[in-house]
Amino acid sequence: MNKQIVLLPGDGVGTEIMESAKLVLNTIASEFDHSFTFYQHAIGGDAIDNYGTPLPEDTVKACQLADAILLGAVGGEKWDSFPGHLRPEKGLLGIRKKLGLFANLRPVKGFAPLLHASPLKEEVIKGSDILIVRELTGGLYFGKPSERRDNGNIVVDTLYYQRNEMERIIDKGFQSARLRNNKLTSVDKANVLESSKMWREIVNEKSNEYPDVTVEHLLVDAAAMKLITHPTSFDVIVTENLFGDILSDEASVLTGSLGMLPSASVRSDGVGLYEPVHGSAPDIAGKGIANPLGMILSVALMLRFSFEMEEEASEIEKAVNECLEQGYHTLDLNIKGGKQVGTKEITEIVVENLTTKSVSNSICSMYV
């Protein structure tokens, strides 16, 4: 298969982990006889520095033509004092919105060799396997432009949702639950927010269309606690934009490191943008020590969701698992008696595992 992929390395460690993604994709291309063409474009702080805007028109056009998009990370202290429209994050939010990528899928499943790497007790996290389905193009992130009034002493951020925006993501939540263990936890703040009341009404209406899926409602504060105390009680979580952002970082603790988490931002026709959940990590950027596994696992999600290359995707996941079983890890992780290596080295080990037949067929796909 021939696929056109836009690469948006962005800022900080984004450029380093993008190199890992390319290496893995080139390996998959030669192992499985595919051809991937890469088109690299600027976004975020890199685009502000070079083109005076976080989301250049060329980048948008290229993304619109692509079969799929891979993104590294955006942001960094350097741009913190820039005015609102010149924030690197605007590039990421802009591309999500322009492409209509309303469904953000964040699988949270620990790899066995990392069970002890979490600060949580092994017996609490063992067996946890969660898919967070986060709404991505509405809510507080995309209300009326934020305002400062009264000499900056009053601030207004607006939470705005249309019914159909809630309906489509809630449908995605139910459909995802059907592909897994038929349990959907809907997270809201219906005891306070009008938007959450509407959200809950829609979930209840929709549950009639999916009688095979068990629905649970949780307030976001209670959900935050239960994620840490009883993570194995969750299957699919569906929630609005900001709650999903917060809960997915929290859930990453179950896997040992935020650096392990991949994500897919998709729309109904299969076009998607894939990126690790972590940010640009300016403190370690340029040192060659960033964990590229969240990015490499995002490549696997891209192959699975956008290109329907299930076998290729699960080979990548197996190669990552094997690398961890061999004891290799980056600085953010700790494997007892393991070997700490850098970004390039761990990528090469994953690639080696992909190219040798030593990858065990008995380990089933990590993310389904």
- Which of Mg ion, ligand IPM, none does 16 bind, CB closer than 5 to 8 A by kind? none
Query: What is the closest distance, in whole angstroms, from the C-beta atom of residue 2 to ligand IPM in the complex?
Result: 29
Neighbouring C-beta atoms of residue 250, cutoff 10 Å: 16
Given the residues 11, 188, 245, 332, select the one marked as catalytic.
245
> Is 249 assigned a catalytic role?
yes
- Is 283 catalytic? The answer is no
Nearest to 243 by CA among 102, 133, 165: 133
Task: Tell me whether residue 277 or residue 341 sits nearer to ligand IPM (CB atom).
Answer: 277
Question: How far is the C-alpha of 215 from the C-alpha of 191, rounded, in Å?
Answer: 18
The answer to whether residue 141 is catalytic is yes
Report in angstroms how near the CB of residue 295 gets to ligand IPM at its nearest: 13
Closer residue to ligand IPM (CB): 3 or 189: 189
Residue 173 interaction partner, one of ligand IPM, Mg ion, none, beta carbon < 5-8 Å per kind: none
Query: Which option in Mg ion, ligand IPM, none does residue 231 bind, with CB closer than 5 to 8 A by kind?
Result: none
β-strands 103-109, 262-266: how paired?
antiparallel
For Mg ion, the closer of residues 188 and 245 by Cβ is 245
> 157 an active-site residue?
no
How far apart are alpha carbons 263 and 301 in whole angstroms? 7
Q: What is the CA radius of gyration of the chain?
A: 20
CB 138 within 8 A of CB 162: yes
Closest to ligand IPM by CB, 25 vs 74, is 74
Q: How many helical (H) and strand (E) elements, i.e. helices and strands, does the chain have?
A: 12, 14
Is 275 a binding residue for Mg ion by CB under 5 A? The answer is: no
Q: Which residue is nearest to ligand IPM (CB)?
A: 89
Can you name the residues that pair with 149 across neighbouring β-strands? 154
92 interacts with, out of ligand IPM, Mg ion, none, CB within 5 to 8 A per kind: ligand IPM
Give which of ligand IPM, Mg ion, none residue 108 binds (C-beta under 5 to 8 Å, depending on kind): none
CA atoms within 13 Å, Cβ hemisphere of 323: 30
Record the tokens describing residue 182, joined without a space.
Answer: 């038929």
Shortest gap between Cβ of 239 and ligand IPM (angstroms)? 13
Q: Which of 189, 206, 235, 367 is catalytic?
A: 189
Q: Which of residues 226-265 bind Mg ion (CB under 5 A)?
A: 245
User: Which of 7, 351 has the CB closer to ligand IPM?
Assistant: 7
Q: Which is nearer to ligand IPM, 75 or 138 (CB)?
A: 75
To Mg ion, the closest distance from the beta carbon of 171 in angstroms equals: 23
- Rounded to 10°, the helix 310-325/343-355 angle is 120
From 141, 210, 274, 367, active-site residue? 141
89 touches, from ligand IPM, Mg ion, none (C-beta below 5 to 8 Å by class): ligand IPM
- Is 58 annotated as catalytic? no
Place of tokens 């919105």: 97
How many other C-beta atoms are found inside a 10 Å radius of the C-beta of residue 214?
A: 14
How far is 225 from 234, CA to CA, in rounded Å? 12
**Please, which residue, 196 or 280, has the CB nearer to Mg ion?**
280
Q: Which residues bind ligand IPM (CB under 6 A)?
A: 74-75, 89, 92-93, 245, 277, 279
**CA-CA distance, 213 to 179, in Å (whole number)?**
10
Spatial contact of 103 and 133, defined as CB atoms under 8 Å apart: yes
Token digits for 33?
Answer: 């006889």
Q: Is the distance from CB of 250 to CB of 224 less than 8 angstroms? A: yes
- Binding partner at 91 among ligand IPM, Mg ion, none, C-beta below 5 to 8 Å by kind: none
Q: Identify residue 357 by its one-letter amino acid code.
A: K
Contacts to Mg ion by CB under 5 A: 245
Which residues are catalytic, by number?
Answer: 141, 189, 221, 245, 249
